[in-house]
Amino acid sequence: MFYIHQTSCISPQQTFADTDISKLQELTGNHLKAIEPVYNGIAPAVLRRMGKSVRMGVGTALSIINENTNIDGIIIGTGNGGKEDCVKFLTQIVDYNEGLLTPINFVQSTPNAAAAQVGLLTGNHGYNITHVHLGLAFELAMIDADMLLLEHPSHNYLLGAVDDIATYNYIFEEKSGSYKPGNVSNLSLYRDDSAGSIAGEGSAMFLVNGTAARALAKIVAIDMLHHTDETVIKEKLQSFIKQHLPENEKVDIFITGENGDNRLLKYYEACESIMEEHVTITRFKHMSGEFPTASAMGLWVCCNILQRQLIPEHMVKNNPSKSPYRNIVLYNNYKGLQHSYMLISLPS
């Protein structure tokens, strides 16, 4: 499909600037808040008017674009970006009786606010789009990038995703039973046999093009499925690997979006059951929490592992193995309905 040349990530872990994911940041409560850096590339007057999702999206994007001015397009996925400012604006309409309203909340109330701000701040007039498809928003952004690169393999695109724990989203998801009640440590997330996960947030950005030279990783294939039957999900994964894994190659690492929700465990166990004994089974959502575009952080973790040839011990669930690692399969599941599969490899 295409190649990843640079990455940037803001998350609840030490993933920005001085990256170190070998040590897990322990957090308690039923949500994991992102560790925001000092946004040196954004003017203070602009920064204070940004919502959190926009700040994180622009911050990760600028750390890549500042070093690569030749960006031909910006493609971002989000599930909830902009909703917090949207609610604030709608509340103002009522409070001020449709009088003089704050325009900033309106401007940032749409999901495309992060991509738009990146384009404005960098003077980029190229392709600019935001995909909003809940748990498959980032995956569809990836497919969009792939189609563009089929036409223009030498172009550079900024591909990424961002979501934050907005108060409105959090209350809605909590009432629907998506989160565990009370205080939950991310260290014990997988030992707590109960319904619900922990809320998460973050932003991950990737510089992608069709050139293999000096690339960090290659996106070999991606596929998606809407279904609730774990047997169908497992068979889809088997078919995906058989179709896209090159001959004489093997899967080294299987990374899943297991999130501590015992209602969804059947999907992950079904997929794990088809892996051969040498495959290291890992998971990442104790690092990020659950949110619609968490798979973007999962992809960032895959790139980090391939680059460093090291799996953090806290990620390993079964079959720990030593490098070299060449092929990683990433499986993510959002609410037991939206499923995605990615095959990520070291460039040849």
Instruction: Please write the tens of the pLDDT for every residue from 150-167.
Output: 999 999 999 999 999 988
Beta bridge partners of 157: 73, 208
3-state class (DSSP) for residue 129: strand
Q: CA end-to-end span of the chain, whole Å?
A: 13
Write down the pLDDT at residue 99.
73
Write down the pLDDT at residue 135.
96
Write down the pLDDT at residue 91.
73
Residue with tokens 């039923």: 30
CA 232 vs. chain centroid, Å, equals 24
Locate the DSSP E strands across the chain: 2-10, 73-77, 127-131, 157-163, 202-209, 217-226, 253-256, 280-283, 316-318, 327-334, 338-345
Is the per-residue pLDDT at 68 higher than 70? no
Inter-residue contact 284 to 257 (CB < 8 Å): yes
3-state class (DSSP) for residue 120: helix
Reported as a single tens digit per residue, the pLDDT across 15-66 is: 998 899 999 998 888 889 999 999 988 999 999 888 899 999 999 999 999 7
Is the per-residue pLDDT at 339 higher than 70? yes
Is the per-residue pLDDT at 289 higher than 70? yes
Backbone angles phi, psi at 65, to 5 degrees: -65, -30
Reported as a single tens digit per residue, the pLDDT across 213-267 is: 999 999 999 999 999 999 999 999 999 999 999 999 999 999 999 999 999 999 9
Rounded to whole angstroms, how far apart are CA atoms 308 and 324? 10
Residue 147 identity: M
Reported as a single tens digit per residue, the pLDDT across 73-100 is: 999 999 976 566 666 667 777 777 777 7
Mean of the per-residue pLDDT values for the chain? 92
Backbone angles phi, psi at 245, to 5 degrees: -75, 125
Write down the pLDDT at residue 3.
98
Rounded to whole angstroms, how far apart are CA atoms 47 and 168? 22
Residue with tokens 């299987």: 254
Q: What's the predicted TM-score (pTM) here?
A: 0.94
Nearest to 107 by CA among 131, 129, 82: 82
Domains of the chain: 2-209 (3.40.47.10), 217-345 (3.40.47.10)
Question: CA dist 71 to 126, 188, 251, 263, 300, Å?
Answer: 8, 42, 33, 42, 20
Give the pLDDT band (50/70/90) at residue 284.
very high
Write down the pLDDT at residue 104.
66
Contacts of 315 (CB under 8 A, 6+ apart): 255, 282, 283, 284, 287, 301
Nearest to 124 by CA among 208, 211, 65: 65
Write down the pLDDT at residue 97.
76
